């Protein structure tokens, strides 16, 4: 495709993103130093429209990029927008004071929402790749134990376990020792295998209890590990809601309230190097077809523990959003690496 046509597309995307109004040939030729007349621009526009990169809301209006237009823009036309020094400082100081994992996630999601002025989504780091640091068993009441897993990413998982038969404190202590001996430093992915061998190694009297404990433990750690997602900045959706979201933003809000939906959004296997941008119709979820989603993995080094990203109108500042998402992912990854969390 000729260079000038691409320039025109880029100019239209940029103008439309900043003004929220269909952009016409005249103002376009003026504002961007294209060096050609409006008529020429019109020809290019007509051609771009024919190829599906632009549409007109109505015959006598300017042009608006289509999803396909944004896609081309993102893939070939947008230049990376570096963060300002001030932004970098802001990110760092914002994340610095986090006291625990929860706090890291909470701060990240708010930060990302503020930076991009969109809805931010941050998934809790997966337990899958982390290791068991310590297992604690607390005797709550006769017949009821609290099982607490502490992992090296600073995450703590807890579950109540019913043991049917009451246990003595000594038995609980034995159990605790057995669990710790077997599981500490093990990768969580190996836990099921290790657990299978455990019953043979303990006192016969403890075996039924152990089984209950292990069932719960497995469920807590393996079956539903990364189910949690934190959200912030929904108020940003209302920024230009009438323009960006056809009917209401109702379906979007509803979708964002569903953890399952959010997980699906973030769920595709990311590594922390590649960013995924889903534009409008490219989204699998019907209700999010009027939004664009920018996600990336984050974690330790280049193995991703989880994902984070933003959800906004298709008319979004893609370079800006992408830069912010990438930067936050990098910083969060660092925080997890040197675990203040």
Contacting residues toward DNA, per CB under 7 A: 4, 22-27, 35-40, 42-43, 45-46, 49, 56, 58-63
Is the CB of 57 or the CB of 339 nearer to a second copy? 339
Q: At what angle do helices 85-96 and 318-337 cross, to 10 degrees?
A: 40
Shortest spacing between CB 73 and DNA, in angstroms: 18
**Do residues 267 and 260 lie in contact, with contact meaning Cβ atoms separated by under 8 Å?**
no
Residue found under tokens 């296997």 = 269
E-strand spans in the chain? 54-55, 64-65, 119-123, 132-141, 144-151, 156-162, 229-232, 275-279, 291-300, 303-313
Which residue in the set 62, 154, 312, 319 belongs to the binding site for a second copy (CB under 8 A)?
A: 154
Instruction: Verify binding: residue 150, a second copy, rule CB under 8 A.
Output: yes
The DSSP H or E segment spanning 193 is helix 191-201
Report yes or no: 225 and 192 within 8 Å, Cβ to Cβ.
Answer: no
**Which residue from 133, 270, 278, 326 is in contact with a second copy, where contact means CB under 8 A?**
133
340 makes contact with a second copy (CB under 8 A): yes
Letters for 184-223 (x = contact with a second copy by CB under 8 A, - = none) are ------------------------------------x---
CA distance 110 to 92: 13
**Any contact of residue 138 with a second copy (CB under 8 A)?**
yes
Q: Which listed residue (72, 249, 276, 329) binds a second copy by CB under 8 A? A: 249
- Per partner kind, with CB cut-offs from 5 to 8 A, the member of a second copy, DNA, none near residue 249 is a second copy
Site for a second copy in 83-112 (CB under 8 A): 99-100
Residue 55 or 189 with smaller CB distance to DNA: 55
Q: Does 148 help bind a second copy (rule: CB under 8 A)?
A: yes
Q: How far is the CB of 158 from a second copy (least distance, A)?
A: 5
49 binds, among DNA, a second copy, none (CB under 5 to 8 A by kind): DNA
Burial of 246 (0-12, 13-18, 19+ CB in 10 A): exposed
Can you tell me whether residue 233 is helix, strand or coil?
coil
Nearest one of 251, 280, 283 to 266, comparing CA atoms: 283
CA distances from 121 to 28, 105, 249, 312 (A): 35, 10, 17, 11
Interacting residues toward a second copy by CB under 8 A: 99-100, 133-134, 136, 138, 140, 144, 146, 148, 150, 152, 154, 156, 158-160, 220, 232-235, 237-239, 241, 248-250, 253-254, 257, 339-341
């Amino acid at each position: 495709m000729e260079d000038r046509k691409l320039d025109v597309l880029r100019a239209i995307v940029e103008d439309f993103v900043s003004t929220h109004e269909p952009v016409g040939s005249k103002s376009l030729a003026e504002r961007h130093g294209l060096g050609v007349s409006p008529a020429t621009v019109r020809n290019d526009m007509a051609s771009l429209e024919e190829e599906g990169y632009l549409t007109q809301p109505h015959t006598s209006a300017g042009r608006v990029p289509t999803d396909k237009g944004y896609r081309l823009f993102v893939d070939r036309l947008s230049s990376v927008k570096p963060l300002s020094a001030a932004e970098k400082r802001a990110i760092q100081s914002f994340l610095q004071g986090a006291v625990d994992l929860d706090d890291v996630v909470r701060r990240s999601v708010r930060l990302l929402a503020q930076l991009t002025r969109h809805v931010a989504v941050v998934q809790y780091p997966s337990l899958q790749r982390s290791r068991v640091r310590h297992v604690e068993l607390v005797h709550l009441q006769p017949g009821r134990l609290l099982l607490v897993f502490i992992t090296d990413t600073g995450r703590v998982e807890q579950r109540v376990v019913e043991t049917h038969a009451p246990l003595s404190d000594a038995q609980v202590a034995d159990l605790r020792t057995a669990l710790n001996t077997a599981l500490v430093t093990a990768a969580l992915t190996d836990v099921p295998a290790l657990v299978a061998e455990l019953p043979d190694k303990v006192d016969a009297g403890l075996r039924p209890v152990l089984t209950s404990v292990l069932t719960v433990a497995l469920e807590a750690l393996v079956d539903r590990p990364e189910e949690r997602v934190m959200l912030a900045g929904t108020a940003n959706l209302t920024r230009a809601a009438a323009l960006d979201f056809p009917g209401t933003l109702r379906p979007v809000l509803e979708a964002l309230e569903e953890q399952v939906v959010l997980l699906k959004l973030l769920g595709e296997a990311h590594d922390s190097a590649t960013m995924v941008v889903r534009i409008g119709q490219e989204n699998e979820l019907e209700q999010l077809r009027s939004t664009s989603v920018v996600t990336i993995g984050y974690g330790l080094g280049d193995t991703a523990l989880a994902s984070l990203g933003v959800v906004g109108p298709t008319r979004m500042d893609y370079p800006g959003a992408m830069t912010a998402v990438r930067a936050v992912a990098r910083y969060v990854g660092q925080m997890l690496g040197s675990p203040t969390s």
